[in-house]
Amino acid sequence: MDLLNTLVDKGLRRELPTREEALAVLATSDDDLLDVVAAAGKVRRHWFGRRVKLNYLVNLKSGLCPEDCSYCSQRLGSSTGILKYTWLKPDEASKAAAAGLAGGAKRVCLVASGRGPTDRDVDRVAGTIKAIKDQNEGVEVCACLGLLSDGQAERLREAGADAYNHNLNTSESTYGDITTTHTYADRVDTVTKAHAAGLSACSGLIAGMGESDEDLVDVVYSLRELDPDSVPVNFLIPVEGTPLAKEWNLTPQRCLRILAMVRFVCPDVEVRIAGGREVHLRTMQPLALNLANSIFLGDYLTTEGQAGKADLEMIADAGFEVEGADQVTLPEHRAAAGSGCGSHESAGCGSHEGGGVCGTTAPATPANEARTDLVAVRRRGAGTDLAPNA
């Protein structure tokens, strides 16, 4: 397939595909799916070998959020029945993180619900970062606290944070349909602040919210332009009690095409399979490791994930290896550049040149059967007296 040969060549050179090429990946047939995975797998292995980075989430503050993000179980007025608690103490957070690190994770992601942190919240998180790093030499810590005010990214960096996560989630043109209490521009501003402060920027998307192929390509090209070091690809977990609870639009094949498209557009960044892989990829999760080089271990913020032991067995059985704490995740050219980049070619680094659409219309994705049996609210780990799933 000429398209795939072209995309592999571009991926090995870190050259930006055209929008038409990215859209064509999403429009491929099921008959061509294994060819798509194999092609994107060549790009993944070129930059990251067969290593899989493990990340572990610690939900520092659950629920009670004033924002109205339609996909989120912690949103304003949520009736989802999730765990709700205020800030964990530093020792509690450190204990929660230790479980994931013992399971092989090398990055701990500290997440707190809310619009954004107050300066007091930043101080509180700084204490938590110190507690975790004092107990775990060499651990990476990523903070995810919402929209940042001026100076807060610098304070987190000084406190020892290595990275900051803030996802774009969906395309700019459809963002207002998902959230009304803040804007797409607010999110871009926070990623920019993190980058400028010397933090490794982490920003990704959520697929499965009813978006079009064009929306998916738009948000991934916007991410390429922002140039984060890691791009989490979330698949919507339709939690009962949220406005998007009935959105079961994904199939395992659709998820694999999305991951392949992200890999081709962002060839040398850490592509992470984030929330929802167990719900939507299901038995095809091992195949997705050929596209992404990073996953979350165990449970998510408010819902349960696959057992950590099963994650480790899956990685080994698929012929991959867990990335060690002494291994550098990013390719040399990106790691040497510090936070951010290395892919500013004259092609425009993700700019929306041309603005064309694919010459062929993608076949309608059949609605995926609702698998509510795979969606379970988290009842263990942080904020409870029960051991976490790590």
- Which residue in the list 44, 107, 202, 224 is annotated as catalytic? 202
Q: Is 334 annotated as a binding residue?
A: no
Q: Is 255 annotated as a binding residue?
A: no
Mean pLDDT of the chain: 89
Q: What is the pLDDT of residue 305?
A: 86
Residue 266 assigned to a binding site: no
> Residue 75: pLDDT band by 50, 70, 90 thresholds?
confident
Annotation says 349 is catalytic: no
Q: Which of 44, 69, 144, 187 is catalytic?
A: 69
Q: How would you classify the pairing of strands 200-202 and 163-165?
A: parallel
Please check the confidence at residue 344 and state whether its pLDDT lies above 50. Answer: no
Q: Give yes or no for a contact between 211 and 171, defined as CB atoms under 8 angstroms apart.
A: yes
Is 144 within any annotated ligand binding site?
no
Q: Is 72 a catalytic residue?
A: yes
**How many alpha carbons fall within 13 Å on the CB side of residue 173?**
9
Q: What is the pLDDT of residue 338?
A: 64
Q: Among 58, 8, 41, 18, which residue's Cα sits nearest to residue 221?
A: 18
pLDDT of residue 368: 65
Contacts of 232 (CB under 8 A, 6+ apart): 165, 167, 202, 203, 204, 205, 272, 274
**Over residues 137-163, mean pLDDT:** 97
Angle formed at CA 136 by CA 326 and CA 300, multiple of 5 degrees:
90
The token duo for 129 is: 């970062």
69 is in an annotated binding site: yes
pLDDT number for residue 363: 42
Q: Residue range 69-94: average pLDDT?
A: 87
Is residue 255 among the annotated active site residues? no
Q: What is the pLDDT of residues 370-379, one digit of tens each?
A: 887 777 778 7
User: Catalytic pick from 19, 51, 142, 341?
Assistant: 142
Report the DSSP beta bridge partners of residue 202.
165, 230
What letter does residue 110 receive in the DSSP assignment?
E
Q: Are 205 and 234 in contact (CB under 8 A)?
A: yes
Nearest CA to 250 among 145, 359, 368, 385? 368
Q: How many CB atoms lie within 10 A of CB 103?
A: 20
Q: How many CB atoms lie within 10 A of CB 150?
A: 7
305 against 366, higher pLDDT: 305
| Domain segments of the chain as ranges | 2-327+363-374
In total, the chain counts a number of residues equal to: 390
User: What's this model's pTM, rounded to 2 decimal places?
Assistant: 0.88
State the number of CA atoms in the 13 A half-sphere of 98 facing the CB: 13
> What token pair was written down for 247?
């959105």
Q: Residue 19: pLDDT band by 50, 70, 90 thresholds? A: very high
**Catalytic residue of the set 19, 65, 254, 378:** 65
Architecture of the domain whose range is 2-327+363-374: Alpha-Beta Barrel (3.20)
Q: For residue 323, is pLDDT > 90?
A: yes
Active site includes 142? yes
Is the pLDDT higher at 171 or at 360? 171
266 assigned to active site: no
CB of 119 within 8 A of CB of 95? no
pLDDT digits (tens, 9 = 90+) for 258-310: 999 999 999 999 999 999 999 999 999 999 999 999 999 988 887 888 888 99
pLDDT at 299 (0 to 100): 84
pLDDT higher than threshold 80 for residue 3: yes
Best CA proximity match to 78, nearest among 243, 238, 234: 243
Of the candidates 14, 75, 257, 272, the residue annotated as catalytic is: 272
Catalytic residue among 51, 72, 263, 341: 72
Q: Is the pLDDT of residue 367 over 80?
A: no
Q: Is 358 annotated as a binding residue?
A: no
Per the listing, tokens 């994930």 go with 305
Mean pLDDT, residues 240-252 taken together: 93
pLDDT for 346: 32
In Å, what is the CA distance from 164 to each residue of 142, 155, 168, 316, 340? 5, 12, 13, 29, 12
Q: What's the whole-number mean pLDDT along residues 170-192? A: 96
CA distance linking residue 368 with residue 254, whole number of Å: 10
Cα–Cα distances (Å) from 291 to 36, 193, 261, 317, in that order, read 10, 29, 9, 16
